[in-house]
Amino acid sequence: MADLTSTHNLPQKEANTRERKRKKGKKQMASPLEIYNEWQSRQRARDVEHLGEVVDLEGFRDICIGLSDWTTGYEPALQNLTRNVLIPLADLHMTIEDVVEGEDAVVVRQRIEATHVGEFLGVPATGRRVSWDAVTMVKVKDGRVLENYTLLDLWGINQQLTAPTL
């Protein structure tokens, strides 16, 4: 039986047109990086109403090495992030330094800056501006984020928070 999607016997121009029409009829799945960017955008906008379109809210798994254990469910993970990072570190600014994208995952290396306004790593608020590197690995499936695995330079942050003032 002939392959109905095959275009190898048609003249090239007609084959290209048929291929474009075939692709146009299919909804293409967003790439892991596009899904990651949409997730981050909706988090920043606090768009919780539509977050489930890009995150598996119930099955979501998250870990931030040194700050939290594996957590299942988006809500408990967001509570961990808020308690462990967003409350003690204000005015967060993130700069993406590098991105590696695979078929079902994206790895993002970032440089993060924040002001230390609450207890973090057992250190009371210092008011210091600190910066650190972080690597986040995000797995996606069927157009939604399933897992977030984050490594922060906690030692570097601690060194900045506890360094003697000059």
List pLDDT tens digits, range 27-77. Answer: 567 999 999 999 999 998 989 899 999 999 999 999 999 999 999 999 999
Mean pLDDT to the nearest integer, 20-31: 59
In the block, residue with structure tokens 């995952």: 105
Determine, yes or no, domain membership for 93. yes
Q: Which alpha helices (DSSP H) does 54-96 contain, by range? A: 74-81
Domain count, the chain: 1
pLDDT at 21: 46
Among 5-19, 60-74, 83-97, 124-138, the minimum mean pLDDT is found in 5-19
H or E element: which one contains 18? helix 12-25
Determine, yes or no, domain membership for 34. yes
Determine, yes or no, domain membership for 79. yes
The enclosing domain of 132 has a CATH number of 3.10.450.50
In the block, residue with structure tokens 């506890």: 162
Determine, yes or no, domain membership for 57. yes
For 144, other C-beta atoms within 10 Å of its C-beta total: 19
Residue 33 CA to residue 41 CA, distance in Å, equals: 12
pLDDT at 117: 98
Determine, yes or no, domain membership for 43. yes
Residue 93 CA to residue 115 CA, distance in Å, equals: 10
Whether the Cβ atoms of residue 54 and residue 45 lie closer than 8 Å to each other: no
Phi, psi of 54, deg, nearest 5: -120, -5
Q: Tell me which of 86 and 3 has the higher pLDDT.
A: 86
Domain that holds residue 121: 29-162
The pTM of this model reads 0.78
pLDDT at 166: 77
Determine, yes or no, domain membership for 140. yes
Determine, yes or no, domain membership for 3. no
Determine, yes or no, domain membership for 114. yes
